[in-house]
Amino acid sequence: MPSLRMMPKVMTLTDAASARVSALMAQKPGVKGLKIGVKKGGCAGMEYTMTWADEIGKFDEVIEDNGAVVLIDAPAMMYLLGTEMDYKTDKLSSQFVFNNPNQKSACGCGESVNLQPAASVHVVQPGE
């Protein structure tokens, strides 16, 4: 019998992030979720991407939390492993914030980041 493997969570959402994604999705009928990815660009090397997805890709990681659906683009998973997505509001702005343990630095304007793939992933076996 094959052993069950528990995979680590790619990303978690704070209550504020879940509430905001859920509220935005309610305004977009037919949307399956908010898709998160990364791309090369910016002065620090990489940028987070966020787009609305009309369908769930075969290899997308699906995160459901309090009515929010976030899809993680497969090529971005190793860069986002262990990330917490938050939603912050202050006097001048409201924005999603990524608390990413794989982030090594960011540019001064905050638009791009230097990300390293997660070093290693330990798969937990039942009984560990």
Specify if 125 maps to a domain: no
Find the domain containing 34 and state its range: 11-115
Q: What span, in angstroms and rounded, lies between the C-alpha atoms of 71 and 23?
A: 16
What is the count of structural domains for the chain?
1
Specify if 128 maps to a domain: no
In tens digits, the chain (128 residues) has pLDDT values of: 555 555 667 899 999 999 999 999 999 999 999 999 988 876 657 788 999 999 999 999 999 999 999 999 998 888 888 899 999 999 988 989 888 887 776 665 556 555 666 665 444 444 54
Specify if 127 maps to a domain: no
Specify if 79 maps to a domain: yes
Specify if 17 maps to a domain: yes
Specify if 65 maps to a domain: yes
Specify if 83 maps to a domain: yes
Q: What span, in angstroms and rounded, lies between the C-alpha atoms of 117 and 60?
A: 17
Q: For residue 5, give every residue at least 6 positions away whose Cβ sits within 8 Å of its Cβ, in sequence order, or none.
A: 123, 124, 125
- Global pTM value: 0.77
Give me the CATH number covering residue 19. 2.60.300.12
